[in-house]
Amino acid sequence: MRIEAKGIAAGYGSTPVLRNVDVIADAGQVIGLIGANGSGKTTLLRILANLREPDEGAVRYSGQTAAEIGARALARRISYLAQGGDVHWPMQVETLVALGRLPHRDDGHSLAHECAIVERAMMAADVLHLRDRTMSQISGGERMRILLARALAVEGEFLLADEPIAALDPLHQLQVMEMLHETARQGRGVIVVLHDLALASRFCDRLVLLAEGGVLVQGSPQEVLTDDNVKRAYGVDVVRGERDGVPYLVPWAPSRDNAG
């Protein structure tokens, strides 16, 4: 599947956030949406997931609009992992992951088939051992992996995740990024909102850098994360290095000249 957004404009009330945004996302890749706070990353992700309508422009899923596909059919093809990870009732982990099967509830599959999918999702997110715990008994890192398992249980062609590693320690950040990378290697598309430039440059195949009310630049991490672009988008200078042939960068200090 391909998600193609064209000429997207969106805002809140009279405040414009995005204008004239074109994005193409193909299956099999991890695409990172990056940019400073308030640059419209979540807004764009929600538009791509058909959770809100753009003020202008349109999103097509392999050429079809969301209305043509239908809400339930689209829900089977796109899974969405929301920011923050609210869980309002202290459900058992396995029950929570199984909520991901709700779009498939009339597909007529056997219970065994459905349970196998839930189990597979828990395995992929490495939470199978937590299946009998309740959500009130788990840590922050486990929580995000469980919610990731819930999103994987949809078995959509695309996974859209909003800041899935924001509240995690470095180990759990790496684990979640590796899971997203693995998900893309298995042929699904992944679009992920990220703040960590080092992880974005390392785990994403393509980056979309949002700044100044639209897409500043998009392309490979090397093309996007130049000193100049990072300075313009975030107002910071970076230091760079290389490990095992993979380049990395670390935000180091606020830029002296913000002329950009």
Partner 1 sequence: MTDAVPTRPAGGRIAISHATLVAGLSALVVVFFALSLAAGYAPLDLPQAASDVLHGRATLASLVLMELRLPRAILGALVGFSLGVTGAAMQGLLRNPLAEPGITGVSGAAALGAVIVFYFGLAGIVPIALPLGGVAGAIVATITLYGLAGQGASTTTLILAGVAVNSFSGALTSLALNLSPNPYAVTEIVFWLLGSLADRSMHYVWLVLPLMLAGWTLLVLSAPALDGLTLGEDTAQSLGFNLRRLRLMLIAGTALSVGSAVAVTGAVAFIGLVVPHLLRPLVAHRPGRLLLVSGLGGAALLLLADTLIRWLPVRPELKLGVVTAIIGAPFLFSLIYRLRRTT
Binding site for partner 1 (CB under 8 A): 46, 49, 51, 71-72, 74-76, 78-82, 84, 86-92, 94-96, 98-103, 105, 111, 114-115, 117-118, 131-132, 134, 147, 150, 154
Contact in structure between 153 and 118 (CB atoms under 8 Å) = yes
User: Of the two residues 86 and 242, which places its CB atom closer to partner 1 in the complex?
Assistant: 86
CA distances from 109 to 101, 113, 119 (A): 11, 6, 15
- In DSSP terms, 237 is beta-bridged to 253
**Cα 100 off chain centre by:** 16
Nearest CA among 83, 119, 84 for reference residue 100: 119
Give least dist CB 236 to partner 1, A. Answer: 30
How near is the Cβ of 200 to partner 1 at its closest, in Å? 22
CB of 12 to partner 1, least distance (A): 14
Q: How far is the CB of 153 from partner 1 (least distance, A)?
A: 9
Our CB check for partner 1 shows the closer of 87 and 174 to be 87
Q: Distance between CA 196 and CA 103 in Å, rounded?
A: 32
Beta bridge mates, 158 = 78, 189
Which lies closer to partner 1 via its Cβ, residue 94 or residue 142? Answer: 94
* Pick 122 or 238: Cβ nearer partner 1: 122
Q: Which residues contact 168 (CB under 8 A, 6 or more apart)?
A: 140, 141, 144, 176
The β-bridge relationship of strands 158-162 and 214-219 is: unpaired
State how far the Cα of 236 lies from the Cα of 257, in Å rounded to an integer: 10
Q: How far is the CB of 167 from partner 1 (least distance, A)?
A: 15
Nearer to partner 1, 98 or 238 (CB): 98
Rounded alpha-carbon distances, angstroms, from residue 63 to 6, 41, 215: 12, 23, 22
Q: Rounded to the nearest whole angstrom, what is the least distance from the CB of residue 125 to partner 1 in the complex?
A: 15
Q: Which is nearer to partner 1, 119 or 205 (CB)?
A: 119
